[in-house]
Amino acid sequence: MTTMDALEKTLSDLHNKTAIEVSAIVSRNGVLIAANAPTDAKTFAAMAATMLGAAEITSEGLDQGVPDRMIVESRQGRLIVMGAGKKMLLAAMTEPDSNLGMVLAELEKTIEEIVAIVEHS
């Protein structure tokens, strides 16, 4: 199995376990690496990276350190963006009534899988 196949399978598994509607693995500069998304995945990836980058700069500027995650909530769901190693991010859109704690736990597990896949490639 190639690295890309493994990353795509990891995202597919995430969708099967949780109330995730869209997910993407993205480089820190916004380049799409892999996605499980019915929408424009490249735009989703770029905007997610931009938003987390702005949150990191803001948080560090206020001497609060680097944030663990960024969550944007709306009536239609949540956008969650988390670091996945030093060079990547995991971005996900959830269903509006999803259990946030369960989703975050699954995202953390998925990040561990992503880092392991990339480190062994």
Q: Could you tell me the pLDDT band of residue 70, with boundaries at 50, 70 and 90?
A: very high
Mean pLDDT of all residues in 59-82 = 91
pLDDT tens digits along 17-54: 988 999 999 999 999 999 998 778 999 999 999 998 89
Phi, psi of 7, deg, nearest 5: -65, -40
Decide: pTM greater than 0.95: no
Query: Which regions of 1-95 does DSSP assign to beta strands (E)?
Result: 20-27, 32-36, 69-74, 77-83, 88-94
The residue count for the chain: 121
pLDDT value at position 88? 93
Encoded amino acid at 40, one letter: D
Residue 92: alpha-carbon gap to chain centroid: 5
Q: Helices 3-17 and 100-119, interaxial angle, to 10°?
A: 170
Domain 3-119 adopts which CATH fold?
Beta-Lactamase (3.30.450)
* Closest C-alpha to 103, from 92, 112, 114: 92
pLDDT tens digits along 91-120: 999 999 999 999 999 999 999 999 999 887
pLDDT value at position 120? 76
Eight-state DSSP code of residue 71: E
Sequence ranges of the domains in the chain: 3-119
Contact 45, 53 (CB under 8 A): no
∠ CA(73), CA(32), CA(110), 5° rounding? Answer: 65
